Amino acid sequence: MLSFEQAREIVITQCRSRGGTRQTVPLPLGDALGHVLAQEIRTDREYPPFDRSTRDGYAARASEATQGATLRCIGEIKAGDSVTEALPPGSCIQIMTGAAVPPGADAVVMIEFTRRVADEVSFDRPTQSHQNVVPRGSEARAGQIALPAGLRLGFAELAVAAQVGAATVHCYKKPSVAILSTGDEVVAFTETPGPFHIRNSNSVSLAAQVRLAGGTPVLLGNALDRVGDLAAKIEQGLQHEVLVLSGGVSMGKYDLVESVLKGLGAEFFFDAVAIRPGKPTVFGRCRNTLVFGLPGNPVSTMVTFQLFVTPAIDILGGGEPRALPLLEATLSVALKEKSGLTHFLPARVEWSSTKPHVAVLPWQGSGDIAALTRANCFLVVPADRQDIATGERVSVLPRGDVL
């Protein structure tokens, strides 16, 4: 059986080899978070655009503002002031953080290291040329690439785009991800369930995970465990780039997802992964749609989405697949698991004295979503480990939204 790493590689390879050009959209910068740039963005001018002071203090010539020297202060420069006149020799000028250093001055002395009596300023320390001054153009030259195409826009990237005046950015369209839950027992969460029904929580968590990953969720509701209903709703899902199903992929008599997909012409790249929860996960292609059949137990659905669907959305969104952000932590309570499968256990990592410590939370198995609300990560127990002692280093997969 495939390890989760091998299964991820298969997803990545299939997504990369999926031909066709990606559609792009012009977006106002305020709507572009999480999109991948389809264009490069260049600087419109030098950065900084003027010699910028990084401190509140006095602009002066380093050769004159020597330790013990006194210079006459001729005025002040605030951030935003136009500065054209050169600083006359033998003088200094009060300057604020972010203001332009006048021609002639080559250093800013922090106010803390000066003493002022009326217009006379004396300097307590030696002054070096260029201190506390960021020269014009030293961060970026005009016309240089500020953000390359293919970059995912996070808060820092958005700030750079804003800095260079890119009010509209051309990005790849987010992939459209159809979500279909399955099960005769499943009713919409807006309905009152009968005594043996359960509300559809998977469609809600999946839509949230799709959004967080950078896709656009399309909710198709729930299909009954009948060939006809399932086939009709899967057909709707095949209008989208990705179809994510929950439930119906185990060995039960009414687990029909794989056989219905096969009937619609799907080819499968895997239909089991050596993990718990999540072993019966299915990944294939049907027509031009990538299809994930995730097990229906809510925690299984969440874990398998994070492991396998996230890299697909990364790539189909025009970017690179993000690595699994595994952390190392110290196990605070010993544990014992059956070997053979890699386990992902709801756990909580805490930082005491800056070092991460992790403990598994009590849970009732993969239906127990309440346990997951107390977890901020999954502890990853390798397939070949049975006992892990307190104090051992272990791998932790952050939940992604809360850690």
The residue range among 158-166, 247-255, 264-272, 285-293 that interacts with ligand AMP, by the rule CB under 6 A, is 247-255
Among 2, 11, 73, 186, the residue binding ligand AMP under the rule CB under 6 A is: 186
- Count the alpha carbons within 13 Å of 400 in the hemisphere toward its beta carbon: 18
Least Å distance, CB 366 to ligand AMP, is 8
Which of Mg ion, ligand AMP, none binds 297 (CB below 5-8 Å, type-dependent)? ligand AMP
Residues near 30 by Cβ (< 8 Å), separated by ≥ 6? none
Q: Which stretch binds ligand AMP (CB under 6 A): 31-39, 79-87, 111-119, 200-208?
A: 200-208
CB 224, min distance to ligand AMP, A? 12
Rounded to an integer, what distance in angstroms lies between the CA atom of residue 57 and that of residue 113? 9
Q: Which stretch binds ligand AMP (CB under 6 A): 14-22, 160-168, 182-190, 380-388?
A: 182-190
| Contact call for residues 95 and 58 (beta carbons, < 8 A) | yes
Q: What tokens does 89 get?
A: 């020799």
Q: Residues interacting with Mg ion, by CB under 5 A? A: 183, 247-248, 296
Based on CB atoms, which residue is closest to Mg ion, 183 or 311? Answer: 183
Q: How many residues at the interface with ligand AMP, by CB under 6 A?
A: 19
Q: Are 395 and 358 in contact (CB under 8 A)?
A: no
Part in contact with ligand AMP (CB under 6 A); list of ranges 14-22, 60-68, 228-236, 289-297: 289-297
Cα angle 360, 363, 367; round to 5: 130
Residue 302 C-beta: closest distance to ligand AMP, Å? 11
Nearer of residues 300 and 342 to ligand AMP, judged by Cβ: 300
What's the start-to-end Cα distance of the chain, in Å?
30
Are residues 93 and 61 in contact, defined by beta-carbon separation less than 8 angstroms? no
Q: Which two tokens stand for residue 92?
A: 């200094």
Query: Which of residues 217 and 247 has its CB atom nearest to Mg ion in the complex?
Result: 247
Establish if 298 lies at the interface with ligand AMP (CB under 6 A).
Answer: yes
Residue 43 binds: one of ligand AMP, Mg ion, none (C-beta under 5 to 8 A by kind): none
Rounded distance between C-alpha atoms, residue 369 and residue 99, angstroms: 54
Burial pattern 103-126, b for ≥16 Cβ within 10 A else e, equals eebbbbbebebbeeeeeebebeee
Summarize as ranges the residues that interact with ligand AMP (CB under 6 A). Answer: 181, 183, 185-186, 198, 200-203, 246-248, 250, 252, 295-298, 367
